[in-house]
Amino acid sequence: MKFAARELNLLGLTLGVIVLGLTYLWLEPKFQEWTEFRAEREELAARRDAAEHLLASRAEVEARLAEFRGGLPVYAVGKKAEAELLLGLEQMAGQHRLTLTRRNAGAERQAGDLFETAITCDWEGDLPALVNFLYAQQSQGAVSDVRQLSVQPVGGRDVPAGHLKGNFTIDYAYRRDAGGAESKADAAPAAPEPPHPEGP
């Protein structure tokens, strides 16, 4: 049986297409694997670079952490830090003419050798009193952090204009001294002079 040249060409082209198709079907999973392998390799390289960066800055991070810890008040193990924190908070609010109508200290939380307590208070006062109080709180640095604050006007005939009320939550950070020594720092250290808003 003889094939014409045209038929041989068509047969060759058909066989070539079939071989290419089968080759592609066989190699497609390999291409997928190679793509995934390359993506994993790039991710590992990025993680390695991040780890190397962290290791290179370890001394700086440890120094900053030591400085942060050194600025925190220290309470003896077993001593209720919440009582001192509440007392300091009440004194600071009084200094700035802010009235605390309700105070609630949350449970103590521990992270390594650091401790944290959240105190939630309802308050009343005017805007300058609130601003000065918040400024004094934030001036304590890492010791305290105002996490939540709400403000609303107080209505009523006998209420002076500009009277506000609301609540706030402050997180206090501190350490514990296993040696049983007394507090090395006041719970509410003296704050710098607050800004003086223009009064009426």
DSSP letter at 143 equals G
d(CA 51, CA 73): 33
Q: What Cα–Cα distance (Å) separates residue 91 from each residue in 63, 64, 95, 151?
A: 33, 30, 6, 21
The domain segmentation of the chain, as residue ranges, is 5-56, 72-177
CATH number, domain 72-177: 3.30.70.60
Q: Which amino acid is at 63?
A: A
- pLDDT digits over 135-162, tens only? 998 887 768 888 899 999 987 777 777 8
In this prediction, residue 200 carries a pLDDT of 46
Question: Using CA atoms, how far apart are residues 78 and 113, in angstroms rounded to an integer?
Answer: 14
Can you give the pLDDT at residue 179?
61
| Separation between Cα atoms, residue 4 and residue 21, nearest integer Å | 26
| pTM score, whole prediction | 0.57
pLDDT digits (tens, 9 = 90+) for 25-53: 888 888 888 888 888 999 999 999 998 88
pLDDT score of 193: 55
End-to-end CA distance of the chain: 115
Mean pLDDT score, 116-133:
92
Q: How far apart are CA 83 and CA 194, in angstroms?
A: 25
pLDDT in tens, 81-103: 888 889 989 999 999 999 999 99
Token pair for 157? 């005939």
The predicted structure's pLDDT at residue 1: 59
